[in-house]
Amino acid sequence: MNIVVLKNNIKEGLGIIAGAHKEGSHLPVLKNFLFVAENDVVRLTSTDLELAIRYTVSAKIITNGTVAIPFSVFSQIIGNLSSERISFEHKASSLLISSDNYKAKITIGNSDEYPLIPSIEDGKARQFIFDPDSFVDGLSAVSTACQASDIRPELSGVYMAYRNGVLKLAATDSFRLAEKILSDKKYETTITGDATCIVPLKTIQEVIRVFSIKKDGKITVQFDDHQIAFETEHISIISRLIEGKFPDYEVIIPKQFATEVVLKTSDVIAAVKVTSSLSNRLHEVKFVVDETLKNIQIISMSQEFGESEYILPAKIKGQVNKITFNWRFVLDGLKNIKTENVFMGFNGEEKPTVFKSPDDTFFLYIVMPIKSA
């Protein structure tokens, strides 16, 4: 292998594939990444055996070749070089790196030992083509309600469900639930029936990270029963899917409420943030809703530091309710409500509370209260 490539292209590629690199792996081969040069492009690939990320850049290819390069030392070298053009040459078990004023020879691994990257099974793939911004926004909105779980692995990812022509993203850790419906104007699909899958949280986080920093056109998503791929012109993220059945979450979504509240989203976010400063170790804040007072009180109390109370004007309908929440869970939901006002539906301290926009039916967030002692 003998090539010349621009430093910034390689540096950007290393940043993209870093999310699938596993430096602490007990398998030495996973401390490397795969560097393939052919057909006037270089493909950089890293994997941790659960997730693989590939990034493609243009290059001047003198001689084709494939090498497995130690990720950490190579990244450090590329990140500190000042020259823009870098040459790479493979000789025996070494990679020669040279620029205008720098030369290095690093020991490389055996590329034949590098894990094969799985592909979607031909003829069984279901496909979507997404507008990248709306897809990333949708994943970001629901992934905050997800948490890795060894006990219930089906809750360790984001649920994608296409049924009756409607695509929903959902996630839950059993304490909160987020659902986002993606507008059919924001995607295309070849699916004629129903299709579902559960994508691991780490994969979702990498999709959000990568496609937030690299705007690379529409995202093609293909999946079969075991794998899923997210692809653009230069980027490919391939991951296993989580086996198991996602809970039938729609049955727990309340349809009626004992108390309904509407107030400004920015006001309640600010109130939760400031009262959280004096919450206890369980991160508790109490919402006191009283229609006669025309306001909502957000109260926090800590035996160690003191107590606080924040009063917000609100439109209230229904009975008095005093509900305690984990303020972190509440804030995660509120941050994903992009409209001026937020609707809150309460049904007491033992039933889920709904947070959503009065004007946007595409996003729903549910939090279970903390039962008072």
The residue ranges of every structural domain in the chain are 2-113, 126-249, 254-367
Question: What pLDDT is stored for residue 281 in this prediction?
Answer: 87
DSSP 304: T
Question: What pLDDT is stored for residue 216 in this prediction?
Answer: 83
CATH number of 2-113: 3.10.150.10
Distance in angstroms between the alpha carbons of the first and the last residue of the chain: 69
3-state secondary structure 180-237: EEECHHHEEECCCCCEEEEEEHHHHHHHHHHHHHCCCCCEEEEECCCEEEEECCCEEE
238 touches 117 (CB < 8 A): yes
DSSP helix/strand/coil, 281? coil
| C-alpha span between 36 and 65 (Å, rounded) | 6
The residues, ordered by sequence, that sit 6+ positions from 194 with a Cβ below 8 Å of its Cβ are 161, 162, 163, 164
83 touches 4 (CB < 8 A): no
Exposure string over 187-201, b if 16+ CB within 10 A, otherwise e: bebeeeeebebbbbb
- Work out the number of other CB atoms within 10 angstroms of the CB of residue 255: 6
303 vs 178: which has the higher pLDDT: 178
Question: What pLDDT is stored for residue 314 in this prediction?
Answer: 94
| Percent of the chain's residues with pLDDT above 70 | 99
Split at pLDDT 50, 70, 90, the class of 256 is: very high
Could you confirm whether domain 126-249 is CATH 3.40.109.10? no
Average pLDDT score over residue span 13-25: 89
Average pLDDT score over residue span 220-243: 95
Average pLDDT score over residue span 231-253: 95
Q: How many residues does the chain have?
A: 373
147-174 residue pLDDT tens: 988 889 999 999 999 999 999 999 999 9
Average pLDDT score over residue span 321-337: 95
Question: What pLDDT is stored for residue 118 in this prediction?
Answer: 86
Question: What pLDDT is stored for residue 286 in this prediction?
Answer: 95
DSSP helix/strand/coil, 303? coil
In this predicted structure, the answer to whether residue 293 has a pLDDT above a threshold of 90 is no
21 vs 371: which has the higher pLDDT: 21
H helical segments located in the chain: 7-17, 71-80, 132-143, 201-213, 265-275, 327-334
151 touches 209 (CB < 8 A): no
Question: What pLDDT is stored for residue 83 in this prediction?
Answer: 92
Question: What pLDDT is stored for residue 69 in this prediction?
Answer: 97
Q: At what angle do helices 201-213 and 132-143 cross, to 10 degrees?
A: 140
**Global pTM value:** 0.93
3-state secondary structure 76-124: HHHHHCCCCEEEEEEECCEEEEECCCCEEEEECECHHHCCCCCCCCCCC
Split at pLDDT 50, 70, 90, the class of 283 is: very high
Question: What pLDDT is stored for residue 167 in this prediction?
Answer: 96
CATH number of 254-367: 3.10.150.10
In this predicted structure, the answer to whether residue 373 has a pLDDT above a threshold of 70 is no
Q: Nearest 10 degrees: CA dihedral of 179, 184, 188, 193?
A: 70
Question: What pLDDT is stored for residue 372 in this prediction?
Answer: 63
Average pLDDT score over residue span 296-303: 93
100-110 residue pLDDT tens: 999 999 999 99
**254-367 matches 126-249 in CATH topology:** yes
The overall average pLDDT reported for the chain is: 93
